Amino acid sequence: MKKNDIVEVTITDMGADGEGIGKVNGFTLFIKDGIIGDVLEVKIIKLKKHYGYARMMKILTPSKYRVEPLCPIARRCGGCQIQELKYEEQLAFKQNKVRNHLIRIGKFEEELITRVMDPIAGMEQPFYYRNKAQFPIGTDKEGNIITGFYAGRTHDIIPNKKCYLGVDVNETILDLVIGFMEQYKIQAYDEKVNKGLVRHVLIRYGFATKEIMVCIIINGKTLPHSEELVKALKELPGMTSITLNINEKNTNVIMGHQLEVLWGQGYISDKIGDITYQISPLSFYQVNPVQTKVMYDKVVEYADVKKEDVVWDLYCGIGTISLYLAQYVKEVHGVEIIPQAIEDAKKNSHINGIENAYFYVGKAEDVVPKKYKEEGIHADVIIVDPPRKGCDETLLDTILSIKPRRVVYVSCDSATLARDLQYLCERDYELKKVQVVDNFGNTVHVECVCLMTKSK
């Protein structure tokens, strides 16, 4: 086989990023958009010693798991990786991905993993579920202002205002923003030369409250004629917060640190279960509120707290899990790196009349070891919900020293989850339960809630 060869291949497996995997004469090929069961005609694009990459040219026999995607640009857009895979099979794929990571990376026995994993909690409706969208703004070759999503692994914008994972109002808002930019000749930002003004539009929608937030991220200090944009946006039913975020750095980090309220409040509210949450543009908030409730209920079940317990919620964001648990325990302590999120967390406990929640700004791996050393803090249950890179070893070591009765690990990356579970379970903990929750239908991403108890 050589580059540009056309070959026939049957997809027999799928990789962690949703790519199809098939073998030709024993040689492994990775094929984007190939679905398990497909027979494909593919073109070899890159060959390595033991494997290669090929492009799908023709579907010779479609897999029985292949479905027509709802979104016309599903294949090109980097947002959805597996929209052409039947939803039930997406769930099987995700359950299997977590299982494989726990066995291969975490080195857990297969038999143990089979025993501790409950069936995945899937979504009723795997579309229109996202409460947040961040649209990049750019310019096409003809000089028109465009918005859309990045193509997979690039920063090329595929023009599109209607994302089938998000809410309808996104499109209306984008039309208003782009119309405004055209009318007042406001330039889109160009990251290649670090010039132009409007970088991104962040939209959040409270599913329970129907409140809308629009945040315009700009490479500059002010948005000329912003009062005209405000005039148009504030007419939309539910509009609650219109803000500017200033990001003058040449970086692919979307948000800067500085916020300015243009109209309304600097935040919106939403509800999960009985708790009301205030969310500002810079704070992390789960993107799928329906499945988040499923996930948090699992956290409560696994934490199995008692009235006299002290709980630490690490990587707490706006205090969502802390406040969800507060009513059942003596006290909860949340730790989070983003100062605005901690401000939200404190306000959130106040709004909900919760008086036994305490919050600290800082890195979990700094705050917790320091508090353990200086104050000898105690915890009956520790919850961690880190970003994709997982937990720092310093933090895991401190958890081992604190010796909570239970550790509940919430993770959005099963590879780092497996690594961290192995670290704890090789020392003083036992893995008891794993619940995979699909918060991100049509993408390869997934959430996991895991219970570990202290070994006797």
The 10 Å Cβ neighbour count of residue 260 is 16
**Residues 120, 445: contact at Cβ < 8 Å?**
no
Rounded to the nearest 5°, which phi and psi values hold at 337? -80, -30
**Residues 455, 400: contact at Cβ < 8 Å?**
no
Return the half-sphere exposure (C-beta side, CA atoms, 13 A cut-off) of residue 414.
25
Q: What are the C-alpha distances in Å from 192 to residues 169, 188, 200, 276? A: 30, 12, 15, 41
DSSP bridge pairs for 53: 30, 46
Give the type of residue at 434. V
* Both structure tokens of 171: 């499109």
Q: Is residue 21 exposed (0-12), middle (13-18) or buried (19+ Cβ within 10 Å)?
A: middle
Least distance (Å) from ligand SAH to the CB of residue 392? 7
Give the closest residue to 431 by CA, choosing from 110, 97, 94, 16: 110
**Alpha-carbon distance 429 to 344, whole Å?**
33
Among this protein's residues, is 412 annotated catalytic?
A: yes
Least distance (Å) from ligand SAH to the CB of residue 136? 21
CA 417-361-214 angle, 5° bins: 85
Beta strands per DSSP E along 118-211: 132-139, 145-150, 157-159, 198-205
DSSP bridge pairs for 382: 312, 407
Long-range contacts for 84-93 (Cβ within 8 Å, ≥24 apart)?
84/33, 84/35, 85/18, 85/35, 85/36, 87/122, 87/123, 87/126, 87/441, 88/122, 89/36, 89/65, 90/126, 90/438, 90/441, 90/442, 91/120, 91/122, 91/438, 93/14, 93/18, 93/36, 93/444
CA 424-420-117 angle, 5° bins: 85
Least distance (Å) from ligand SAH to the CB of residue 212? 20
CB closest to ligand SAH, residue no: 317
**Alpha-carbon distance 99 to 122, whole Å?**
16
Q: For binding to ligand SAH (CB under 6 A), which residues are involved?
A: 284-286, 315-317, 320-321, 335-338, 341, 363-365, 385, 387
77, 215, 316, 412: the catalytic one is: 412
What angle do helix axes 393-402 and 364-375 make, rounded to 10 degrees? Answer: 30
DSSP H or E stretch at residue 177: helix 169-183
DSSP H or E stretch at residue 10: strand 6-14
- Which residues participate in catalysis according to the annotation? 412
